[in-house]
Structure 1
Amino acid sequence: MVNNDLKIFEELESSVRSYVRSFPTVFKKAKGYKMWDINGKEYIDFFAGAGALNYGHNDEKMKKKLLEYIAQDGIVHSLDMATEAKANFLEKFNEVILKPRNMNYKVMFPGPTGTNTVESALKLARKVTGRTNVISFTNGFHGMTIGSLSVTGNSAKRQGAGIPLQHVVTMPYDNFVSNNLDTVEYLERFLEDNGSGVDIPAAMILETVQGEGGINAAKFEWLKRIEEVCKRWGILLIIDDVQAGVGRTGTFFSFEKAGINPDIVCLSKSIGGNGLPLALTLIKPELDIWNPGEHNGTFRGNNFAFITATESLTYWETDEFEKSIEEKSVKITEFLNNIVEKYPELNGKVKGRGLMQGISTPIEGLASEIAAKAFENGLIMETAGPEDEVFKLFPPLTIDNEGLEKGFKIIEESVRSLVASKQLVGQ
């Protein structure tokens, strides 16, 4: 293949493909915050594998460790047998992440993807409590397999199930209706009233910042009150940190600043370090009542990912990395606020937290057009929200200031050109 001909994908790949439609080129190489297509065109990556590449593409230290492991005929596949690579990861994760945060969790390897960890969390919550129902929240996204899809809010994705999605009650997320509705009080009223039709659930599952749902960030106070409701009613609290975790919102776990202590935590995406598939389900020890093999899978655990994941945790051995994320977060917030102020035609609103921010616009199709124009101009960025009304900035956490500024310039030029061409009127 010597050009960017997408014909082979159109002819042979299923119509279910999606990102190739948003980014219609054939990619060949990637490094840090940059990608190149087969014709040598350079792109700045403000997508980061939908949050699976928080440390960027082909991190040198991770790559070196992985190549050494392969060269030494290290174990590739082992189901959940004990391997040196797994032992090293567990020890490092405990020493660098859990202990300094006074967290006590058993680590489960449920399978290599985000939906695997969510499925295991839901199954365990039902097993522990003996209850069936789960409370999820509006605009939540938790995966595409049937259990995970049942707690996902997006109607288009839910319709793909082909069967009724049951045993879930959806409650309003923070500020879903308006600033005037106390959604925690609303939720608890359903639990209190025997006439509400809502049974006490096995668990509540939520994202502290909803990624696919529109970069909706819950207030820390709201999260704390949700935890209090769960404790009051004996409900397990599951935090889905698949996308918002591993530093994406500023701290390793997205819920740290809220001061909550979830019963179960779901991790995937960037926990593998270098884009390799890996997922963890963190379980409070007293809840770890699995029978051996009761939740399993051929690819639970991934030795290649253990190697890169272990190396990735060196970023967290001091507070320097976390401070750098905070500094970049401030730059992104300032840039987005400036765009909203400078281009009132967007009727934009800045959303999100950390390096997980974006601008929502009520103008139909505009966010998607801005993302498409940015791609033409050399930047990869996707949209979020039930109507794709948010264009979101998801750069690698390791991006430097030069990379941020280049990306900002492309985004602003894309916004400016579309606002001018559409002759939009501020609303």
Structure 2
Amino acid sequence: FKQEQYPQARQALASLLEDGRNGKYDENAQYLIARSYFSQNQFEEAVRAYQQFIQRFPESGMLPRVYYEIGDAFYNAHRYKQAMDWYRQVIEKFPDDPLVGEAISGLQWAALQQGQVEEAFRIADEYIQAHPDARLSQELLFRRGDFYFGRQQFDQALKAYQTFLERYPGSLLAPKALYWIGLSQLSLGDTSAALNTLQRVARDYPNSAVVADAVFQQAVVLSEKGQPEAARPLLRRLLESESSGRSDPAFLSEVYLRLGQVEVQSGHSSAARSAFQSAISKQPDGFASYQARIELSRLAGREGDLTTALQLLRKVIADRSDQLAAEAQYTLGELYAQSNKLEEAVAAFLRVKYVYSAYPQWVARALYQAGRVYERLSKPAEARKLYREVIDKYPTEPISRQARERLKTL
């Protein structure tokens, strides 16, 4: 069984059950037969084997798990109504079992799969009303905010997190709820309220693990509002391990990246370069480190060091295939254009369209910039063609407006 040789395992387990001695391992044998079918995605066979377990061992202490896994089997077979029936039985028959929380989650997900959002919340509300002081009740109410936030329904998420905080102000989840209230406000465009809320996280819950994230988000907001001098001390505070509470490389790499961007805003190229290099050294293969390479390439380009800039960008392009690679390819075109290598610039920009079509924001910007380079090459017909492509294929991208203006000029 441990070696995932399930047919052979079932044969041996069946022999154990058939020896007629009702041994002490019979319950485990029957359970493992069912579980082996489940592990092979043979959900109908798994359900039959689990039901045989219930018939054979009606007093077993394993029944809560068996009922729950029958629900899981139906869920994975996309038979959500049946899944809900078995999850409900876990809650009704075994109300004190630790699996009740998982059963409620299963009920909610099965309801959501059927488009029954209100039913999913009603299920949670019933449990919360019956067990208002239970830890699970707190988790269920908190998850409602997570559900709405994940669906980008930020106004609903905000209300859900606020309701949680009002109902459970002393919960261990309270600092996290306050943090997500801040992110919801930020997503709704209320930056002033978001800053106040994020500051409250650090002030009201100084020992919480979420403080570092709240401080970082404050720095991000201030930086994006054009206040690098206010953002810098927050980021430096995070880099002091004794006060940050976060020492994982991915987080520190992200902090150094943002610090570098803040230094660029302030015109401090040397400090920015140092911060970007630290972002890379903290986690060389992390997302932030590749973004830092792109930022370093821009610094190198502004200083006339095209060779270094191109090396940094080619590293990103070689290692990644996501939006960072698209941005790196776009930046390659920018650097060629800045260096008056116009044919190379056009080729680099057009490559974004052909290789990174999954990232329309970069494709639209690259096509526009290729059009600008064609103008510099005195090829207005080619430029017009690209501007029209931006307007026709990417009308919702911000760069589309500039493409219209250039087309009128030509």
- Provide TM-score, normalisation by structure 2: 0.23
Over alpha carbons, which structure has the higher Rg? 2
Structure scoring higher RCO (CA < 8 A, sep ≥ 6) equals 1
**Greater share of helix residues, 1 or 2?**
2
